[in-house]
Chain A
Amino acid sequence: MGVLTMGDYRRFVHAKKGMSTIFGGLFFIILILMGFNLMLWGFIQYDNYNTSTFKMSQNDQLATSENLVPTNPGAQNFSNTSPIGFNIPVNNLGGTTVSIARIYITNISPTGGTQCTSSGASAGPCIVDSGAGTQNCAGNGNCYFTNGNIGAGEINHLIHVNAIAINDGSGYKVILSSTRGRLFSFFYPWPVSLINNNPNGQFVTNIGPLSIYFDFKSFNFTQGSQTQSQSAFCMPSSTTAVIWVRLANTATDSVVTLQGSTMMQMQPYSANGFGQFVRTWIV
């Protein structure tokens, strides 16, 4: 037992039976192994693809969870002498830390000066970067900001902007750009807020994503011997007046355009004027 005799060896060497079966089997084993290898390769490729997709999906989720809210008055603590600068108060109401990558300041109502316009020192929007800055945006040296990392849940965080002040009377659009690609913007000077002053006199009309805020207690007047302001939409005639209507676009994915046919209509409330209308058209 266990010893290969010469006879067994001869029989094995000269035996031809089953060789084709063995070769055929080997052939198909090779094919199956090749197919298996291909499957494994496909799995690995698909896994790599899924890994990158998952990673980017996580990044997108983090970017979506950013919720930075600039707060009233938008810009504060101005310093118009060296070192020139101001602070931007923000609340981080999102679920993740927000890092500001760049601040764009655009002068869209250059009544107080031309800085941050095409004719200003910046020849375009004022670009405020972190670190040493990249643009001498207001002619006071490179503009830069500090304190640009806002932790989740931080309230009244102050982002300090250096080498520029925006309290010259012009209207500025300020865009805070995060490192994850989100944009948070506000307008300075901060728009007049009627709602906060008279919370009991407010009502809102919603037209699609557009919310129109009214605060009828802000239209006050006195008559005759009255010593206390009355809440009404009535106002004396022949008097120049400015009426503010507060609009908010509550859509998260679109811009609202007021068409040329949009108007505000006012009706005199008197015996002589009743039935007459003054219409203000949006142009």
Chain B
Amino acid sequence: MNLAKWAKNRIEKNRKSRRGISTIMANLTMLVIVVSLSSLLFVWAISSFGAYQGGAGYWFSSRSVANQERVTVENVFFTGSCGTCNNIVKIYVRNVGTVPVTIASVYVNASLYQVTPQTVTVGNVTGVPPSGLSLVGGQVWAHNDIQKVTVATTRGTVVTTTWVS
């Protein structure tokens, strides 16, 4: 048997051989599974880390700034639009924190007053609202009553003080 005949027979045998196919298929299947799961893990990790950084970053930055807010109600003056009308409250708010604050709302006792947002820079004082707060719904203040005045900022800082009218 010459060399050419031996090679032809060998090729024919190899072509018809089925041995080893299942191993290759298994390896290929495992490869596909590993690659796909790894890709999923990678994508999930990227998105999770990104979401965590976004949420935590916003929380840290917003709370950090809000934590630097300090407002104080320096004085409350009770007056009226006429001689006997006890219906106006002048509230003086000072920013004693380290960041500018924006006054969003004022509560007098249990009543909410949505005031025009006023930004108070560091160290400054403002009247909230500048012309005085007109009590609504026929409310009036009475002499020697305790009035609870609450001031809230847009970042969620709330300061409650009590005054005798």
Residue from the list A49, A180, A182 in contact with B63, Cβ < 8 A: A49
Assess whether B53 is interfacial by the CB under 8 Å rule. Answer: yes
Assess whether B100 is interfacial by the CB under 8 Å rule. Answer: no
Q: How many residues of A contact B (CB 8 A)?
A: 36
Q: Quick check: B45 and A180 within 8 Å, CB to CB?
A: no
Chain B residue at minimal CB-CB distance from A38: B49
> What residues of chain B lie closer than 8 Å to A181, measured between beta carbons?
70-72, 94, 96
Q: Quick check: A183 and B60 within 8 Å, CB to CB?
A: no
Give the residues from 115 to 149 in chain B that come closer than 8 angstroms, CB to CB, to chain A. Answer: 123, 125, 132, 146
> What residues of chain B lie closer than 8 Å to A124, measured between beta carbons?
77, 79, 90, 132
CA distance A49 to B146 in the complex (A): 38
CA distance A181 to B12 in the complex (A): 98
Q: Tally inter-chain residue pairs, CB-CB below 8 A.
A: 87
CA distance A190 to B21 in the complex (A): 106
Residue from the list A31, A38, A56, A104 in contact with B68, Cβ < 8 A: A56
Assess whether B113 is interfacial by the CB under 8 Å rule. Answer: no
Chain A residue at minimal CB-CB distance from B162: A255
Q: How many residues of B contact A (CB 8 A)?
A: 37
CB contact under 8 A between A48 and B90, given known A56-B68, A59-B70, A183-B74: no
Contact pattern, B 88-110, Cβ under 8 Å of A = 1, otherwise 0: 00101010111000000000000
Q: Quick check: B79 and A52 within 8 Å, CB to CB?
A: no
Residue from the list B56, B70, B79, B132 in contact with A45, Cβ < 8 A: B56
Assess whether B154 is interfacial by the CB under 8 Å rule. Answer: no
Assess whether A235 is interfacial by the CB under 8 Å rule. Answer: no
> What residues of chain B lie closer than 8 Å to A179, measured between beta carbons?
96, 123
CB contact under 8 A between A118 and B96, given known A49-B60, A102-B74, A177-B74: no
Can you sample 8 A-B contacts with CB below 8 Å?
Answer: A34-B49, A41-B53, A48-B60, A56-B70, A63-B96, A102-B94, A118-B77, A181-B71
Q: 4 nearest interchain CB pairs?
A: A181-B72, A181-B96, A118-B79, A45-B60
| Chain A residues within CB distance 8 Å of chain B | 24, 27, 31, 34-35, 38, 41-42, 45-46, 48-49, 52-53, 55-56, 59-60, 63, 101-102, 104, 106, 118, 124-125, 175, 177, 179-183, 254-255, 257
